[in-house]
A = this chain, B = another copy of it.
């Protein structure tokens, strides 16, 4: 490693550093009239053109250590506003070649193109609302207890009405927070107010305030004067006895030769991190790990909630919302962290620490066989290299992990957690549009639909060599004396995609997507070397096809899109989703374009999966992770099990548990309860929780008996003869 890290020139995929950003920003500023003010919104590493990057990787992977690597330009892409005067904003983007010291590309965008929101706008929005007379008047409709403060969660103005023609807007969900306790982290989501202020960002003023319905089943939709709601005290949640923290994964440096590898770069938006896999995984199989996008439409048909549709990454920004991952909390074991340089509105570099973590972990038995004649067993462990980042979008959290294991598998894991988005409902009522998760609090039904971009290169980067094939397993049509005499036969059918196309998951046919090299055969099977992806058969967009919600995200209507590669074409729903009326430059357009073109030579795959989230009471006040995994596995890529040489090393630190552990447990419980209660930071999560005894909330159980049930039961069944 030392060799290259000490070399003067950074790797072409190396994240931008502060000097580079500063240089580029000065170059861009100089290129504009002094009269023009620049408002910087997003800053990316502009990756080299594919054809150049391919040359670099080829040279880099040569045996010949002395081979010289091509010099690729370091380039920065800025998305920014050009401000000629008050309210006169023009959205633009530019690419700056730092080495050449010049702007190599500029583009201005039409008025309807809106960049995602920058953090400073959240603060501006809240301030504008709080100070607005219109908003003060609206609040008078509520007899709020004196000790409650107002908090407003910013939301994108998710798709204007067909007849609306508007500048840059933002809307917000309003909550009351119990300010009696001096805890700024008290969960305000427990007390939603039926108001949505809408702000014009260019005029820096409120346009209007939408009143919200608070009725239940069968009630009319029109908003009615809200009832006074008595505040609920946030009784702190006692923590269960602390158990020993989970032990870390192996503590050898995670990137010794012979194990999986990944390279991470982070951009302020959805591409953090992209990666290149190698070593015992996919040789140079993939030049970009799937990079997620997400559209989240809400299913409550009562206006104005049709506008509650967020493109979490396009409107908010994933890289920018990435958490600082604390040691021993978000990632365990031997960890490498990666920082990212972003920019402030002035274009000055700002550092985000530890936004990507890399570590290894055990993943259970990797392969095993016992010879039943000799009783001899061989068992090895599955071992994952994990590249993880976590983003916060107001109330919600997403955890993304790329897992590369020693069997050559690539897994993209998504975990949804955080706080569900809630609105007010009259106490005692229920709704068909969501679930009451706390008295007066309705968690609305919604979807999260993700897209990941996959830029495959199977054992070669050469154009024309990568093929995409849909493979299915079919019953044979009939019992036939010649082809299927007893009816047990089944056949594998292959459909190569010669042109751009979309497709859906079909588990009943065991449909898999194979990325193959049509020129390289597997030495053993004689088939094309390849990797296979199993598309997830998850629910797609539920909004009506003619709705704005659906038109803004055609990508969410199929599980797979295959398009021809174009440099810089990275956004499933188009680059600018904020306030979009439709998908501009998204996968649908790419496929339509491709159909007119010739045969696919450099295919790019876009994998789509979703989570229809009809909230459970268990999702309140903070939801346990909903986990989804997309699997990409070698399929005749290697000449044998790539984990065959994983040593069957016994784990010497495992221990037998004594047969009667109860006493120590009780002791432990006594000893730790107080401590963990004090240290426990979850109490504030409870917020204005349900009116149930703290003990119930604490244990999350329906009554107090569970723990006793538990011990009794176990003693009964485990107690004897161990």
Collect the chain B residues with CB atoms within 8 Å of residue A60's CB: 709, 712-713, 716
Contact with B along A323-362 (1 / 0, CB 8 A): 1001111111111111100000000000000000010011
Q: How many copies does the complex hold?
A: 2
The answer to whether A651 and B328 touch (CB under 8 A), given A436-B525, A719-B11, is yes
Asked whether, in the complex, the Cβ of B430 is within 8 Å of the Cβ of A279, the reply is no
Q: How far is A394 from B278 in the complex, measured between Cα atoms in Å?
A: 35
Chain B residues in 8 Å Cβ range of A682: 378, 380, 644-648
Is the C-beta of A546 less than 8 angstroms from some C-beta in chain B?
Answer: yes
Report how far A699 CA is from B259 CA in the complex, Å. 10
Find out whether the CB atom of A721 lies under 8 angstroms from the CB atom of B647. no
Q: Could you tell me if B642 and A329 are in contact, using CB atoms closer than 8 angstroms?
A: no
Q: How far is the CA of A253 from the CA of B244 in the complex (A)?
A: 10
Which of chain B's residues have a CB closer than 8 A to the CB of A408? 618, 624, 700
B279 touches A649 (CB 8 A): no
How far, in angstroms, from A430 to B522 measured CA to CA in the complex?
A: 12
Q: A2-B662, A371-B185, A507-B538 are in contact. Are A473 and B614 (CB under 8 A)?
A: yes
Q: Is A247 an interface residue (CB 8 A)?
A: yes
Would A525 and B430 be within 8 Å (CB), given that A328-B650, A636-B616 are in contact? yes
What distance in Å separates the Cβ of A722 from its nearest Cβ neighbour in chain B?
6
The answer for the CA separation of A655 and B328 in the assembled complex, in Å, is 8
Task: Considering the complex, give the chain B residue whose CB is closest to the CB of A262.
Answer: B714
A365-B330, A418-B369, A544-B479 given; A710·B376 CB < 8 A? no
A426 / chain B contacts, CB cutoff of 8 Å: none
The 22 listed contacts between A and B (C-beta, < 8 Å) are A2-B663, A5-B660, A5-B720, A239-B645, A255-B714, A301-B483, A301-B488, A305-B488, A329-B377, A368-B397, A430-B525, A430-B527, A436-B524, A459-B702, A486-B548, A490-B543, A507-B507, A507-B537, A638-B701, A640-B696, A647-B680, A648-B681
Within 8 Å by CB of A329, from B379, B526, B699, lies B379
Establish whether residues B486 and A647, one from each chain, have CB atoms under 8 Å apart when the complex forms. Answer: no
> Do the beta carbons of B476 and A544 come within 8 Å of each other?
yes
Q: Which residue of B lies closest to A544 (CB)?
A: B487
What residues of chain B lie closer than 8 Å to A456, measured between beta carbons?
A: none
* Interface class of chain A by DSSP: loop
Interface string of A262-306 (1 = CB under 8 A from B): 011100000000001011100110000000000001111101011
- In whole Å, how far is A696's beta carbon from the nearest beta carbon of chain B? 6
A484 on the interface (CB 8 Å rule)? Answer: yes
Q: How far is the CA of A331 from the CA of B15 in the complex (A)?
A: 40
A1-B718, A261-B710 known; A526-B283 Cβ under 8 A: no
Tier of interface size on chain A:
35 or more
Chain A contacts with B in 665-722, Cβ cutoff 8 A: 665-666, 668-669, 676, 679-682, 685-686, 689-690, 692, 696-703, 705-722
Give the interface segment out of A97-105, A437-445, A575-583.
A437-445
Which of B382, B445, B487 lies in contact with A547, CB distance below 8 A? B487
The listed residue with most B CB atoms (<10 A of its CB), out of A246, A373, A662, is A246
Most buried by B among A522, A637, A712, A722: A712
Distance in angstroms from A179 CB to nearest chain B CB is: 13
Asked if residues A720 and B244 are in contact (CB atoms below 8 Å), the reply is no
| Contact (A657, B11) CB under 8 Å given A63-B705, A709-B283 | no
Chain B residues with CB under 8 Å of A523's CB are 690, 692
For the complex, give the distance between the alpha carbons of A701 and B641 in Å: 9
Pair A329/B650 contact, Cβ less than 8 Å? yes
A258 to B714, CA, bound (A): 13
Is B699's CB under 8 angstroms from A258's CB?
Answer: yes
- A373–B184 touching, CB < 8 Å: yes
B250 touches A439 (CB 8 A): no
Q: Chain B residues near A244 (CB, 8 Å)?
A: 250-252
Contact partners of A255 in chain B: CB under 8 A: 661, 665, 710-711, 714, 718
A697 with B640, Cβ < 8 A, contacts A241-B256, A263-B717, A544-B484 known: yes
**Which residues of B lie under 8 Å from residue A200 when comparing CB positions?**
none
A491 interface contact, C-beta 8 A: yes
Bound CA–CA A656/B325 (angstroms): 12
Question: Which residues of the partner chain B approach A488 to less than 8 Å between Cβ atoms?
Answer: 297-301, 305-306, 309, 543-544, 547-549
Q: A90 at the A/B interface (Cβ < 8 Å)? A: no
User: How far is it, in angstroms, between the C-alpha of A705 and the C-alpha of B550 when the chains are bound?
Assistant: 47
- Residues in B neighbouring A722, C-beta threshold 8 A: 336-339
Tell me if A245 is interfacial: C-beta within 8 Å of chain B.
yes
Closest B residue to A639 using CB positions: B692
**CA A328 to CA B6, docked complex, whole Å:** 41
The minimal Cβ–Cβ distance linking A38 to chain B, given in whole angstroms, is 26
8 A Cβ contacts from A1-28 to B: 1-6, 10-11, 13-15, 17
| B418 A261 Cβ-Cβ under 8 A | no
B2 and A700 contacting across the interface, CB-CB below 8 Å: no
A615 and B221 CA atoms in complex are apart in Å by 57
The answer to whether A617 and B524 have CB atoms under 8 Å apart is yes
> How far does the alpha carbon of A651 sit from the alpha carbon of B330 in the complex, in Å?
10
Which residues of B lie under 8 Å from residue A407 when comparing CB positions?
618, 624-625
Say whether, besides A244-B250, A332-B654, A618-B641, A367 and B713 are in contact (CB < 8 Å): no
* Residues of chain B with a CB closer than 8 A to A641's CB: 618-624, 700
* Distance to closest chain B CB from A631 (angstroms): 9
Bound-state Cα–Cα, A548 to B390, Å: 52
Shortest Cβ gap from A219 to chain B (Å): 13
Decide: A435 near B653, CB < 8 A? Known: A365-B330, A397-B369, A700-B642: no
Determine if A715 and B1 form an interchain contact, defined as CB atoms under 8 angstroms apart.
yes
**Is A651 a contact partner of B332 (Cβ separation < 8 A)?**
yes
